[in-house]
């Protein structure tokens, strides 16, 4: 209580800086926009209502439409990689993992970060890892957001708002070309169709060979082609009813699982094989099979609102369908597996996902001192998945992507996953005084999950046992199914105090939740059999438990010198029970999820943005995370190890300069450096699975015209650092490693009309 009573005195001191006259030339901090002689505040939707960024008691990083254009942001990695304590790891084509403050997302498990686009939470990160176009604003929320955004928002949320049509016709066209034969383009147009009815149409295209070539097949292993489109109709006629209909689709093609492999005792592609080394990238791609990736996605959402004056009722309906396939040679690509005649094995995976969701909420008027929101959310998700390992008989992928071939199929699984999730939620916000605010929110998630293995029970002539791993363990195929219901209450509470109109402090507490799930049925027994019947060291189960995190945070936000200098800072502590981690089991060819009993995380993040005289713009941020495995019953020797997937720190520094060449031409050079601290990729902290700190440099030079056109030269990883973007430990002596992009550069042209 003493600290609260002293806050007004602190506010008087800070206000001396907040009230100081503006410095020099009018300019707006990154993410804020100047209208005339005033600077508009950033408005965010982090709490599912429009609020001033400075007064929201959440650590939020915002990228506005103007900043997206200035920074040349075209992919999620372009802004996530520059956000303190946030990392974005891309794996196979279409696969991506977002980590915030040491809370990791892993393959074969739900994400830990909710992706919310125009109010709809995606069921997968895969549709998010696409080119960005027609974007109005991006908000990166750190810390537990499960109370507001539900399932899979334990570490945070990324809230994307696409651009709505206005009252006049407008649009833009962007085209770029760079090395590796990389071509991309995007375009958007929007405007009125009739009084109160507007439309927008936007699309993008990208085609690249990627930087790496397989020396055996000549394949461009990271080639990628994507085309996407979005159409939108918005009805807003100054009446109580409004509606927003949006259709989105994309199609992607490319290479498959493009990995380098390391196996101790086995030289592979120039790798000496004497020890694992997460920092040794001096090896070529040598597999003898050309990979393939194919993905189709369609999404439809309808948002309808009716304002009753005292409250607004909102309905958000969503449907999406994802079909994905990828196939490739199977590691470790041993010497006899590098010739055109074949040898070794190939892997093929298919995903067929269907998702329906519905949210209804009632939101009070934001002008009241006491504000509230209540709602209900329901989700129905189904995945039909196939996994196949087969003999490589001719150095190519079989044409039958998800079918059994008795002559070549070594292992096959076809699990069907179903999820039904529903949750009531509520939040209240109360202004105790004009400066002191209380925020309370809660959500109760109930998630029923089931798995059914429908692979053929027939005997595999190559192995002598059933293709169906569950049947092979002696279970009737009708009984090869499991179901389980996971429940969790996720509260969140925060106190905030406005030190001044442009400064606030806050403290918050919250719980995060990610549902448990299932490994392939029979996984545990298959691993025990592979270990000769010894179950002592087998901690994989057919199911894994839910992940629950408890977080505490204290933060501050301030805008100084007429908002020319912004500073945001927060410290946090998070305890996780049941932290989910991926483990591949090569002895049985199984991809599994395990749970670490307890993980403890603590750290801080801080960022600044300064607009100096003469058009100089400085920006930066630093995030630090101390993560440790506190308890792991599966392997007590791992207790005290560095938490897997948690970067020790992230550092971002940059500058840009506005140079007026004439009254209509402006030159803007921009440079940015990002440094990522060390990371261990596995819970056991095996020797050779720690990547050292990494520094990446990017730059951009733009010539802008007052007539609406812009030409830019850009470059990423300008020092051409070679590194592994991800290392996947399969054994203490075996890893597969995914290469990060090398130096890239190109030219971009943009026209706004």
Q: How confident is the model at residue 129 (pLDDT cuts 50, 70, 90)?
A: confident
Bin 289: left if φ > 0, else alpha if -120 < ψ < 50, else beta: beta
- Please give the CATH number for the structural domain made up of 2-752: 2.40.170.20
Helix (H, G, I), strand (E, B) or coil at 156: strand
Mean pLDDT confidence for 702-707? 96
Res 4 pLDDT > 60: no
Res 8 pLDDT > 70: no
The confidence score (pLDDT) of residue 536 equals 73
The confidence score (pLDDT) of residue 532 equals 75
pLDDT digits over 555-593, tens only?
999 999 988 999 999 999 999 999 998 887 766 667 788
pLDDT digits over 293-349, tens only?
999 999 999 999 999 999 999 999 999 999 999 899 988 876 554 455 567 889 999
The domain ranges of the chain are 2-752
Separation of alpha carbons 246 and 234, rounded Å? 9
Helix (H, G, I), strand (E, B) or coil at 644: coil
pLDDT digits over 635-689, tens only?
899 999 999 988 999 999 999 999 999 999 999 999 999 999 999 998 989 889 9
Q: Does residue 188 contact residue 200 with C-beta atoms inside 8 Å?
A: yes
In order of 155, 156, 624, the CA distances from 144 in angstroms are 5, 5, 17
The confidence score (pLDDT) of residue 5 equals 35
The confidence score (pLDDT) of residue 127 equals 73
Res 21 pLDDT > 60: no
pLDDT digits over 365-388, tens only?
988 999 999 999 999 999 999 999
Least confident of 94-98, 199-203, 290-294, 674-678: 94-98
Res 33 pLDDT > 70: no
Average pLDDT along the chain: 88
Mean pLDDT confidence for 182-207? 95
Decide which of 273 and 468 is more confident.
Answer: 468
Mean pLDDT confidence for 470-479? 92
Each residue of 621-633: b (16+ CB within 10 Å) or e? bbbbbbbbbbebe
Least confident of 235-249, 476-490, 727-741: 727-741
The confidence score (pLDDT) of residue 689 equals 93
3-state secondary structure 85-135: CEEEEECCCCCEEEEECCECCCCCCCCCEEEEECCEECCCCHHHCCCCCCE
The strands making up 724-731's β-sheet, listed across from edge to edge, are 260-263, 734-739, 724-731
The confidence score (pLDDT) of residue 207 equals 97
Question: What percentage of residues in the chain have a pLDDT greater than 70?
Answer: 92
Res 176 pLDDT > 80: yes
Most confident of 106-115, 344-353, 448-457: 448-457
Separation of alpha carbons 327 and 383, rounded Å? 18
Decide which of 741 and 584 is more confident.
Answer: 741
The confidence score (pLDDT) of residue 340 equals 53
The confidence score (pLDDT) of residue 523 equals 81
The confidence score (pLDDT) of residue 352 equals 95
Gyration radius of the chain over CA positions? 26
The confidence score (pLDDT) of residue 563 equals 86
Mean pLDDT confidence for 218-230? 94
Q: How confident is the model at residue 59 (pLDDT cuts 50, 70, 90)?
A: very high
Antiparallel, parallel or unpaired: β 156-162 and 113-117: parallel
The confidence score (pLDDT) of residue 662 equals 95
The confidence score (pLDDT) of residue 93 equals 57
Separation of alpha carbons 177 and 180, rounded Å? 9
Separation of alpha carbons 559 and 362, rounded Å? 33
């Amino acid at each position: 209580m003493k600290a609260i009573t002293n806050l007004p005195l602190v506010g008087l001191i800070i206000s001396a800086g907040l009230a100081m006259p503006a410095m020099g030339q009018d300019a707006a901090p990154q993410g804020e926009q100047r209208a005339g002689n005033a600077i508009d505040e950033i408005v965010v939707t982090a709490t599912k209502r429009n609020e001033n960024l400075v007064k929201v008691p959440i650590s939020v990083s915002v990228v506005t439409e103007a900043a997206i254009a200035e920074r040349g942001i075209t992919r999620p990695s372009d802004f996530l990689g520059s956000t303190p304590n946030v990392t974005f790891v891309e794996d196979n084509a279409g696969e991506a993992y977002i980590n915030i403050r040491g809370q990791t997302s892993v393959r074969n498990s739900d994400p830990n970060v909710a992706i919310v686009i125009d109010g709809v939470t995606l069921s997968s990160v895969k549709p998010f890892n696409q080119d960005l176009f027609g974007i109005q604003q991006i908000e990166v929320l750190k810390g537990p957001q499960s109370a507001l955004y539900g399932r899979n928002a334990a570490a945070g949320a990324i809230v994307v708002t696409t651009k709505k049509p206005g009252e006049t016709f407008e649009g833009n066209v962007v085209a770029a070309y760079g090395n590796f034969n990389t071509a991309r383009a995007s375009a958007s147009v929007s405007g009125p169709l009739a009084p109160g009815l507007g439309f927008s149409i936007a699309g993008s295209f990208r085609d690249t060979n990627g930087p790496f070539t397989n020396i055996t097949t000549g394949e461009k292993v990271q080639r990628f082609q994507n085309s996407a489109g979005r159409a939108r109709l918005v009805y807003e006629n100054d009446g109580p009813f409004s509606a927003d209909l949006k259709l989105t689709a994309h199609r992607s093609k490319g290479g498959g699982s493009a990995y380098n492999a390391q196996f101790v005792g086995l030289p592979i592609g120039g790798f000496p094989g004497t020890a694992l080394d997460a920092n040794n990238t001096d090896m070529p791609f040598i597999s003898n099979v050309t990979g393939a990736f194919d993905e189709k996605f369609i999404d439809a959402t309808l948002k309808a609102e009716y304002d009753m004056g005292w409250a607004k009722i909102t309905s958000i309906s969503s449907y999406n369908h994802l079909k994905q396939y990828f196939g490739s040679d199977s590691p470790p690509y041993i010497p006899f597996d590098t010739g055109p005649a074949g040898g070794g094995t190939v892997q093929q995976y298919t995903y067929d996902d269907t998702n329906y969701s519905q949210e209804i909420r009632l939101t009070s008027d934001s002008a009241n001192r006491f504000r509230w929101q209540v709602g209900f959310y329901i989700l129905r998700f189904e995945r039909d998945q196939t996994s196949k390992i087969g003999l490589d008989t001719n150095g190519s992928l079989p044409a039958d992507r998800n079918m059994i071939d008795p002559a070549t199929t070594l292992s096959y699984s076809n699990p069907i996953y179903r999820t039904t999730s529903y949750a009531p939620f509520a939040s209240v916000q109360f202004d105790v005084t004009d400066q002191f605010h209380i925020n309370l929110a809660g959500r109760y998630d109930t998630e029923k999950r089931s798995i059914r293995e429908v692979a053929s029970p027939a005997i595999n002539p190559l192995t002598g046992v059933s293709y169906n791993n569950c049947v092979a363990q002696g279970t009737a195929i009708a009984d090869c199914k499991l179901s389980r219901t996971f429940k969790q209450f996720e509260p969140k509470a925060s106190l905030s105090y406005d030190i001044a109109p442009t400064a606030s402090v806050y403290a918050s507490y919250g719980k995060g939740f990610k549902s448990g799930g299932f490994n392939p049925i029979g996984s545990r027994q298959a691993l025990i059999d592979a270990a000769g019947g010894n179950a002592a060291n087998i901690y994989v189960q057919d199911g894994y438990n839910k992940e629950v995190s408890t977080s505490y945070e204290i933060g501050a936000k301030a805008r100084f010198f007429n908002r020319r200098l912004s500073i945001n800072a927060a410290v946090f502590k998070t305890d996780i029970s049941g932290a989910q981690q991926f483990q591949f089991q090569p002895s049985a060819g199984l991809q599994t999820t395990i749970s670490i009993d307890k993980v403890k995380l603590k750290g801080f993040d801080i960022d600044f943005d300064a607009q100096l005289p003469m058009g100089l713009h400085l920006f930066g941020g630093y995030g630090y995370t101390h993560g440790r495995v506190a308890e792991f019953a599966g392997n007590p020797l791992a207790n005290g190890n560095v938490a897997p997937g948690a970067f020790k720190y992230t550092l971002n520094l940059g500058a840009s300069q506005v140079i007026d060449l004439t009254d209509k031409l402006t030159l803007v050079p921009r440079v940015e450096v990002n440094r990522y601290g060390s990371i261990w990729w596995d819970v056991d902290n095996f020797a050779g699975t720690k990547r050292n700190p990494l520094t990446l440099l990017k730059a951009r030079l733009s010539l802008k015209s007052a007539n609406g056109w812009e030409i830019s030269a850009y470059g990423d990883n300008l020092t051409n650092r070679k590194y592994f973007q991800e290392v996947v430990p399969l054994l203490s002596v075996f890893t597969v490693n995914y290469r990060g992009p090398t130096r890239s550069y190109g030219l971009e042209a943009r026209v706004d009309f």
